[in-house]
A = this chain, B = another copy of it.
Amino acid sequence: MKQPATKPYHHGDLQQEILSAARLLLEETSISALSLRAVAKKVGVSHTAPYRHFKDKESLLAGIAAISFDELAVKMSEAVALHPGDPTAQIKEAGYCYFNLVMANPQSAQLMFGDFLPCDDTYPGLRESGDLAFDSLKSLVEYGQSMGEFKRGDIELMALTFWSCIHGLSLLVAGRHVEATVPSATDHRILIDTVTTLMLAGMKCS
């Protein structure tokens, strides 16, 4: 809950070390299999030391999710910056970015978007980070409309449609639900491009 910004007392920055170790262990196992005690052992502290920095396991998971959301926001804005003046390319790159993050950190993705953490304001940082990402997506749509590249329409719903599609595709592929049923899905770069193109077809001006 508190990050004193000044170096803490005994152990260096234990809070950050716990978060880092927990993220690694999380991706090695699963959310339910992630054990506070294993995290503590990995860091080299007693099994209750994490409780000085996180109220309970959920609170630690929320911390991991917050970091992941921030990473997503950073990477997506970098992706957008790659294609100045080209909203279609921007939105595709952002989608590819989203997809890659889910693929690279499937357990963290479960954490961010699954039903493990409460979506009320129990963990303030969480919602903010999520909203931020969606706001930037809306800006992308708005930009595309103002440039006359996307059709006019409800910005939020258009952004939500895009978000849903990328989100669903990412989770389906990361969860290995697609490989078996869609052979052509092996090359992810092409897959993302095809799907986003298909979806954007109805939104673009002819």
Contact = CB atoms under 8 A, between A and B. Distances in A.
**Chain copies in the assembled complex:** 2
A84 interface: no
Interface stretch (A42-50, A86-94, A109-117): A109-117
Given A164-B195, A166-B168, 17 more contacts: A30-B116, A106-B115, A110-B115, A119-B180, A134-B181, A134-B182, A153-B198, A154-B184, A154-B194, A157-B198, A160-B172, A160-B195, A163-B168, A164-B168, A165-B199, A199-B202, A202-B204
Interface magnitude class on chain A: 35 or more
26 contacts: A106-B115, A107-B115, A110-B115, A114-B114, A119-B180, A131-B180, A134-B181, A134-B182, A154-B184, A156-B181, A156-B184, A157-B184, A157-B191, A157-B194, A157-B198, A160-B169, A160-B195, A161-B165, A161-B199, A163-B172, A164-B164, A164-B166, A165-B165, A167-B171, A200-B202, A201-B202
